[in-house]
Homo-oligomer: A and B are copies of this chain.
Amino acid sequence: MDEARRGGESSRGMRSSEMKGSAWGGVDLGGTKIEAVVVDAEGRPLGNARHPTPAGGPKEVVRAIYEALEDASRSAGLAPRRLAGVGVGAPGSVDSNTGTLARVSNVGKGWTEPYPLAGALADLVHGPVVLGNDVQVAVTAEYRLGAGMPYRSVLGVWWGTGVGGGLVLDGIPWRGRGAAGEVGHVVVKPGGSRCGCGRRGCMEAYAGRGCLELKARKAVKRGEKTMLLEWMKKKGRTRLTSSIWKKALDEQDAVATRLIDKAVLMMGVGLSSAINLLDVDAIILGGGLGTRLGVEYAERIHEAMRPHIFVPERQPPVVLAQLGELSGAIGAALLAEPPLH
């Protein structure tokens, strides 16, 4: 691609490290933090920065994204205006064509109407900005640079507070009409547990960390014994983090074990439905809980799928995400199309 055109100005006369086109920015916009990264032409991180997500409206959020990019650029020895392009992975309802973000509930004060986030950020970075879905870009990063590299087609399952998903089919991220990949809302039990989305029986209602915490708190109210909430208080947390769940499982806490066993069982149901429909080469397991529980649980989910797989002799593997906490930001940077020679 024509670097001068992408950057909007000529690169002549600049020092190599300062040329537009030698570095790309990526931002993972989350409810608590903004993770920014600057990558080279191969998608390798040159620098990164993490800022807290501000409590305000979209303008404040855009300002904070720019500042995180500034810091990430500085740590890479660049000015943010030297980025050839920037990609942003965001939760909520993303319209990549218009660069707008709508229905954001847990970023800043949240907003409902479409906000032109890409345009507003482009005015600050003086270059092109592309907007994408946060989980989809993380899955795309794993597909192109991480655990998905050996495969043609993958389903990414991001197991955290919710259960997000992303599809890459024959190399192309599949978003349908913009909302595809919601594997967390595959129905695993009609009329079952209440999900954060308001519906019943979704896979996320059994496996999402948010729903798991509600179930743990209910168990405590019923008088069941668990160390989960004590450890949470001891660590000065207000939420059950992935590491608290991990510790509880390691110490064979009865409530944690029962709830996670059920989560694994239900992920087996939902993910095999997805495989029977799509027959992709592999499932990539990521997200806070997926990464923390690691390969043992990837294997357990694989086992839980076995009874439901239509072509059992070709059941795809469940592999762990490899790019770690930067996968979302790196994936976002890929939206800006570094060449990845």
Contacts and interface: CB of A to CB of B under 8 A. Distances in A.
Interface of A: 153, 165, 167, 169, 174-183, 185-190, 197, 199-201, 265-266, 269-270, 272-274, 276-281, 307-308, 310-311, 314
A38 to B, nearest CB: 32
A174 B272 contact: no
A180 B316 CA distance: 13
A307 to B, nearest CB: 7
A129 to B, nearest CB: 24
12 contacts: A165-B277, A169-B169, A169-B174, A177-B281, A182-B276, A182-B310, A183-B277, A185-B273, A186-B277, A189-B189, A190-B265, A201-B308
Contacts of A314: 177, 179
What 9 pairs between A and B have smallest CB-CB spacing?
A176-B279, A180-B279, A186-B273, A185-B276, A185-B310, A182-B276, A179-B279, A179-B311, A182-B310
Given A176-B153, A179-B314, A307 B273 contact: no
A314 B175 CA distance: 14
A169 B179 CA distance: 14
A277 B182 contact: yes
B272 A274 contact: no
Given A188-B190, A189-B189, 18 more contacts: A165-B277, A167-B278, A176-B280, A177-B280, A178-B279, A180-B279, A181-B277, A181-B279, A185-B273, A185-B276, A185-B308, A186-B276, A187-B188, A187-B273, A190-B266, A200-B307, A277-B277, A277-B278
A186 B176 CA distance: 19
A265 B38 CA distance: 49
Given A187-B272, A187-B273, A188-B187, A174 B278 contact: yes
A327 B30 CA distance: 48
Contacts of A200: 307
A96 to B, nearest CB: 14
A279 B277 CA distance: 13
A210 to B, nearest CB: 16
B277 A307 contact: no
Contacts of A311: 179
Contacts of A307: 199-200
A277 B276 contact: no
A207 to B, nearest CB: 14
A227 B179 CA distance: 45
A312 to B, nearest CB: 9
Contacts of A178: 279
A279 B175 contact: yes
Nearest to A176: B279
Nearest to A189: B190
Residue among A185, A186, A276 with the most chain B CB within 10 A?
A276
Contacts of A201: 308
A179 B174 CA distance: 18
Contacts of A281: 177
Contacts of A197: 310
Contacts of A266: 190
A240 to B, nearest CB: 25
A188 B169 CA distance: 24
